[in-house]
Structure 1
Amino acid sequence: MQTEKTDTDRLYTYDDYLKIDDDNQYELIGGKLILVPAPRTLHQELVGKIYRRVAEFIYDNNLGKVLIAPTDVLLSDTEKPQPDILFISIERLNIITEMNVQGAPDLVVEILSPSTGKNDRVEKSKMYYKHGVKEYWIVDPDHKTIEVFISGEKNWNLFQSYDDEDILTSPLIKGLQIQLKDIFQ
């Protein structure tokens, strides 16, 4: 279950996060330190399948880089998520450092888990929009759907909701096509 670290009134910074001396996985969302449990095996399988399809297209076409969690994405001093999958276009590769990604990826993919679903749909969604992510995919393993959102004038706009019989396309990554029956089988 995804839980906040015990001191609920304290606002944590990235420097505080770097000083944590335990083996747990954390995200920093709005100054709150969120403990991230080990994901289900289905979650990891979907990360691998989606990453493989996206990365193959990106690298074959020299469009940028694709990374997977746990990669720290430093959006601000109090916001450091670790998206399941992220894409950074070739024009913006300078935001990738040895330690982390400093700034918003072009595309973020989050695979829902029972413990993270609300956070991925609400808190992280707002955070990604606020910091300039251009496209956001929410993958629902239980319903076998992927919702693709694009950044609009005031909020996310739903580009398309796909199910396991569809071919996913991306408005950001022109030419990318993912046969979802291969992802969800």
Structure 2
Amino acid sequence: MSLEEYLALPEGMHAEYVDGEVIVSPPAASGHNKAQRRIANVIEESLADELDVRTEAGWQRQQRYRIPDVAVFPEKDPAVVYDDSTPILVVEVLSPSTASEDTVRKSGEYQQGEVTQYWIVDRDRRTLSVFVNNGEGWDRLLDLDEKSPTGTVTVGEWGEVALDLDALLRP
């Protein structure tokens, strides 16, 4: 599919464009959507007002058009569909159909694209991991799980996000 054909797809279709290939995902499960929304809400409530916290955010870098579950951009632009500025952080809520894409290919793209933080939420394992970009890869900053369900993440100069895994993943 050409880039022009991809960009002409109807709104609401969950498809990413990577090096000439279209990756289509089915709609997310309710639990996925709830976790995504709760995470975006806690980030938005905690960080500086000038940041743009988006769900299903379009991010364009080179010939890749990705749609992170949650992304935080440095500036608000209500008209943008695919932002070409670098997100401060991205969050992926894993789904069985996209887990390897999220943790392998996207992880490398986000790191090379200079995203500062990458958060991975695994609803099945009930974990949330926060990684920080060290310029050559990801360093683990925080792990939340059943034994340690709360923690705080500093997001640069924009503030701190207090996380409660039980609240984020409740049914």
Shorter-chain TM-score tier: 0.7 to 0.9
1:77-156 alignment, distance < 5 Å: 78-89=63-74, 93=75, 97-156=79-138
Q: 2:114–2:135: 8 Å Cα contact kept in structure 1?
A: no
CA distance in 2, matches of 1:81, 1:102: 11
Per-residue CA distance 1:30-56 (angstroms, 9 max, x = gap):
332101111111101101111111111
Matching of residue 29 in structure 1 with residue 15 in structure 2:
no
- Aligned equivalent of 1:7: none
Give the letter for the 2:40 counterpart.
Answer: Y
- Aligned equivalent of 2:44: 55
TM-score of the pair, normalised by structure 1: 0.80
Q: 2:163 aligns with which of 161, 178, 181?
A: 178
- Aligned equivalent of 2:52: 65
Task: Name stretches of at least 5 consecutive residues in structure 1 with no aligned partner.
Answer: 1-9
Question: Identity over the aligned pairs, expressed in percent?
Answer: 25
Flag the 1:159–1:103 CA change in 2: closer, same or farther, 3 A.
same
For residue 122 of structure 1, give the secondary structure of its aligned residue in structure 2.
Answer: helix
Give 1:171 deviation, angstroms.
3.2
For residue 123 of structure 1, give the secondary structure of its aligned residue in structure 2.
Answer: helix
CA distance in 1, matches of 2:9, 2:161: 39
The number of equivalent residue pairs is 167
Give 1:62 deviation, angstroms.
2.2
CA distance in 2, matches of 1:36, 1:124: 14
Flag the 1:96–1:127 CA change in 2: closer, same or farther, 3 A.
farther
Matching of residue 75 in structure 1 with residue 33 in structure 2:
no
For residue 114 of structure 2, give the secondary structure of its aligned residue in structure 1.
Answer: coil
- Aligned equivalent of 1:168: 151
CA distance in 1, matches of 2:13, 2:73: 27
Q: 1:95–1:103: 8 Å Cα contact kept in structure 2?
A: no
CA distance in 1, matches of 2:80, 2:135: 33
